[in-house]
Structure 1
Amino acid sequence: MNWDNLITTNPDFIWYDAGLTVHLYFREATNLPVSQKFYIYLNIKHIQIQSRDIIYYFLVYKQKTKEPMAYIYLRGGDSTDWISPAKAPFGGVQTHELCSSREVIFLLSCVENFVKNNGGKKIIIKTAPENYDISEYLKLYECYNRSNYEPKDIAKNHDITVSNTPFEDIITSAERRRLKKCRKAGFITIPIPAINVSGVYGFVSTMKNHLGYSLSISLEELKILFSTFPDDVKVFSVNDHNRIIAIAVTVRVNRGILYNFLVADRPEYRSYSPMVALLEGIYKYCQSDRIRILDLGISLDHHGIEKPSLIRFKENMGAKPSLKITWQKTLDT
């Protein structure tokens, strides 16, 4: 990971401990550019989309080398609950490859110190799925535990490992038959080159509303996401001739991970299961662009309860489960 773009001057607060320094920034968030190698949700531009509230950025450095070892941001200040992320699939600590547990634990202790002194009662941290980076996941799991955080929620995330294996060889035989049915009907899966964001949003929200779901993002927020990250947000569709029957909005989390963010299909085409054809097209795109993980996300119904049928579908697509933990710490008063 290249951390060269992280600034090391003019912090709002500083903590020191045995060769380590933690810097806190919150006055001018634009003064904290983030390396392209970060997860997109930790990119300063994405963070600014997530919330208009004050965001607090904590970085831990080695004093001798001035090299940043770990980073976390939180939304807080006007609430007793301080949260990372403000509004994204995950936030939490991201570390340098050489970062030690001691450095992360010192960072978390400084966060706790500042939050407690500013009226905070609770810290909530939603972390990345374990399959994103197993070594970082295990290191951070230990650090949250040792810092007396407790799991508030443990969700089951699913992702497909992208390889040279053809998509039809990783899915179950029943899903292969549905894929062949889509091909026989002449359905075509394509990336949409010229995107009408309002049209995409209208399609997804209409189809979701039929199922009792609401979207986690507004039209305005989606427009800002597309305009801010034009190379990282892409739309794929399954077409029956000139008619769009299924859509997926994907987000490039980093160079090696693609997140299947928003998906929807027309109910009258469900007998064809166009979602299978849609995922095949996205999987092929991942193969061509050297993306190693296709993240299908967690599986919840419109009440926020785990949905077994959606889990079965993802596993039929060759996806494997991994844990996605939200940590919580209630602060002593």
Structure 2
Amino acid sequence: MSLAVEARLGTIVVGKNQPHFPNGFLFNDPDHLDSQTDSPLMRLSLQHPLTGQAMARCAFVVRDGVGYSPAAAPFGSIEFGEDVSPDELICFVDALVEEVRQAGCQRIRLVNYPNCYAPTQTNRLIYALTESGFNLVANTPTQYVPVSDAPLTTRMHPSERQRLRKAQRAGLVASRWDNPCVETVVKHIQKGRAQQGYPLTIQSEYLSRLLRQFSHEFPVFVVRDGDSIAALCVCVRVRYDILYTFLPVSHPDYRTLSPMVLLIDHLYQYSQHTGVDLLDLGTSLDSNREHKPSLAQFKQNMGAVESPKLTFELKLM
């Protein structure tokens, strides 16, 4: 049974049974939260007094005396609608801090969604967290392409347009892989990451489970040379209007044909036809999780722009 505490214009709801949050981020949805960890998750939301829907929500897991949001995802933190007032947002932050404190934590760590996902809410959240004593501890920028009616080639650097034409002339074909063999996808990603010297940042068993449980939200795209796979990418439909390139890999034998350029161009066209406004190409990190300038430059050449992705912490007294 949920515990309810009256707030100014809404109700703070704590517990497993949470009100529905409309058009939210996948990583904060109940089913995905349940998939992230076997440990108990603490969940709370701000419920609208008239509609009964959630206006704000957050979930965290406790590990070694620290409350983490997310438990296991690119981001978590506090998600809220535009109609939440400044006072209500501060009230919700205070309620979250109190829940973390009551869970026996000495610290709370919130990994925010990229600013470009919700610019107005992000700026308001940064202010609310700072006012509540949180400190900014990390900024891991993501790079994204705003989707418009114009083709991606109008944003590309001339060198990438040339690589795109080269891949097309070589007969490479990009497409969405409908009903993919999960074992084949996972093995290809494992092999590709190992060849590039990148450890897989997600357990293969968990990736397989995500691809099966969330097949619609985790579409797979592929570049083929006949029956051979030249490049592959597991994407995430983070929200109805956001597509995130989660795990891209290229086969080293096709490096001279730059199949990833063709794949990103196809992802952009797919976005144009499926209501996606923002194509997130992700962060640019090397095998040590440090900024990789060459990867960032490639994404910039593909037409991407940078957006902050901030992490905040608060030490509890």
CA offsets per residue over residues 131-169 of structure 1, 9 Å max, x none? 111111111111111111111101111000111111222
Classify 1:34/1:65 alpha carbon distance in 2 versus 1 (closer, same or farther; 3 Å): closer
Classify 1:158/1:185 alpha carbon distance in 2 versus 1 (closer, same or farther; 3 Å): same
Establish whether residue 279 from structure 1 lines up as the match of residue 244 from structure 2.
Answer: no
| Correspondence for 1:125 among 85, 91, 110 | 110
Shift of 1:214: 1.2
1:261 is paired with a residue whose SS is strand
Classify 1:181/1:63 alpha carbon distance in 2 versus 1 (closer, same or farther; 3 Å): closer
- AA partner of residue 14 (structure 1): A
CA distance in 2, matches of 1:257, 1:64: 29
Classify 1:169/1:117 alpha carbon distance in 2 versus 1 (closer, same or farther; 3 Å): same
Contact 2:221 2:232 in 1 (8 A): yes
CA distance in 2, matches of 1:48, 1:34: 15
| Residue correspondence of structure 1 range 29-44 to structure 2 within 5 A | 29=16, 31-32=17-18, 34-35=20-21, 37-44=23-30
Which residue of structure 1 aligns with residue 59 of structure 2?
73
Which residue of structure 2 aligns with residue 46 of structure 1?
32
Which residue of structure 2 aligns with residue 16 of structure 1?
6
| Residue correspondence of structure 1 range 147-186 to structure 2 within 5 A | 147-186=132-171
| Correspondence for 1:58 among 44, 47, 54 | 44
Q: RMSD over aligned Cα, in angstroms?
A: 1.6
| Count, aligned residues | 317
Contact 2:241 2:275 in 1 (8 A): yes
In structure 2, list runs of 5 or more residues that go unmatched: none
CA distance in 2, matches of 1:163, 1:62: 34
Shift of 1:281: 1.0
Shift of 1:14: 3.3
- AA partner of residue 198 (structure 1): E
Shift of 1:32: 3.4
Classify 1:33/1:242 alpha carbon distance in 2 versus 1 (closer, same or farther; 3 Å): farther
Contact 1:45 1:228 in 2 (8 A): no
CA offsets per residue over residues 48-94 of structure 1, 9 Å max, x none? 11111111111123557755321111112x53110101010111111
- AA partner of residue 192 (structure 1): W
Contact 2:241 2:278 in 1 (8 A): yes
CA offsets per residue over residues 175-216 of structure 1, 9 Å max, x none? 011011101111111111131111111111111112221112
| Residue correspondence of structure 1 range 141-152 to structure 2 within 5 A | 141-152=126-137
Shift of 1:17: 4.3
CA offsets per residue over residues 93-148 of structure 1, 9 Å max, x none? 11122001211211111121222233200000000111111111111111111111
- AA partner of residue 53 (structure 1): S
TM-score normalised over the length of structure 2: 0.95
Classify 1:301/1:34 alpha carbon distance in 2 versus 1 (closer, same or farther; 3 Å): farther
Classify 1:188/1:89 alpha carbon distance in 2 versus 1 (closer, same or farther; 3 Å): same
Contact 2:19 2:52 in 1 (8 A): no
Q: Tell me the percent identity.
A: 29
In structure 1, list runs of 5 or more residues that go unmatched: 1-9
2:308 is paired with a residue whose SS is strand
| Residue correspondence of structure 1 range 289-304 to structure 2 within 5 A | 289-304=274-289
Which residue of structure 2 aligns with residue 231 of structure 1?
216
1:23 is paired with a residue whose SS is strand
Which residue of structure 2 aligns with residue 106 of structure 1?
91
